Amino acid sequence: MLEPSILAASLIHGLANGAVYALVALGLSLVYGVLHIINFAHGALLMAALYAVYFLVERVGLDPYAAIPILVPAAGVVGYLLHRYVVAKASRGREEAVLLVTLGVALVLENLALALFRSDTRTIETGWAFEMVAVGPALLPAAKLAAAAGALVAVLALWAVVRATDLGRAIRAVAKEREAARLVGIDVDHVFALAFAIGTATLGAAACLLLPTYYVSPQVGHGFVLIAFTIVVLGGMGSFWGAFWGGLLIGVVESLGGLFLGESLGQIGIFAIFIATLLLRPTGLFGRAV
């Protein structure tokens, strides 16, 4: 029934979505890899970033992509302060407490958004966002293609930071062995907060890339946080390339699921993968046994 060209189109479409999922998941994976905490506030922070883009576009008249150089550092600063003065302080170094604190941050952010903006669904109109561009057999909305390309650039930039800078080396050192890192003179608390800052900064970039073809509402983070957790588990907790390939795979599964099962049931595939990973390969595709 389904011609190969339609399957291919759905596949390419899924890859484009998956690139943005990968970016969102990378932020989450980085925070887990370094701090060993599960950041439940990830979705709420993405929601906050989406609102920031929305108001920059609607009130200031910025192009959503021109907002990237503003929002990425701004999100980073927010992330740093949030970790240093809220998450680290309130949890007093206990990992299970961190979990609750990030959950609390998520609740506060969401309800704040509800109080300030009500549960309205807001979208921006850029005019060209839904112009179609041919990619092989697929036709993609221009803004979706731009988002996928932007996400790839952001992933590579993040990888370069982690691989080739002193900060990256410090982050990796803290991730591997935090006591030894402290002994060689690394300011571990600072690095923790920086890792959290980078994780949040990726959301700033993701928000700018997403909004032209998406919407923002106080609950918008929920869908992303579930997908991001699945990706991180699938790729291997804390694995950089695991999150990347996992993101692409989940994008494709979602797209093909939507094609075969319909929009409402299409997400079943994602959670089937989540459960299968936990049962069959709990370390994930790229993870190592602890």
Residues that bind other proteins (CB under 8 A): 1-3, 6, 9-10, 13, 118-121, 123, 130, 132, 139, 213-215, 255, 258-259, 262-264, 266
Separation CA 158–CA 92 (nearest Å): 29
For residue 25, the minimal CB distance to other proteins (Å) is 19
Which among 234, 249, 248, 213 is positioned nearest to 287, based on CA atoms? 234
Strands (E), 146-277: none
For residue 59, the minimal CB distance to other proteins (Å) is 18
Long-range contact list for 160-164, CB < 8 A, 24+ apart? 161/198, 162/30, 162/240
Nearer to other proteins, 141 or 199 (CB): 141
For residue 233, the minimal CB distance to other proteins (Å) is 25
| Tokens (6 digits) for 121 | 């669904």
Task: Judge whether 10 and 139 are in contact, CB under 8 Å.
Answer: no
Task: Judge whether 50 and 210 are in contact, CB under 8 Å.
Answer: yes
Separation CA 277–CA 79 (nearest Å): 30
Nearer to other proteins, 164 or 268 (CB): 268
For residue 58, the minimal CB distance to other proteins (Å) is 14
Nearer to other proteins, 168 or 266 (CB): 266
For residue 126, the minimal CB distance to other proteins (Å) is 13
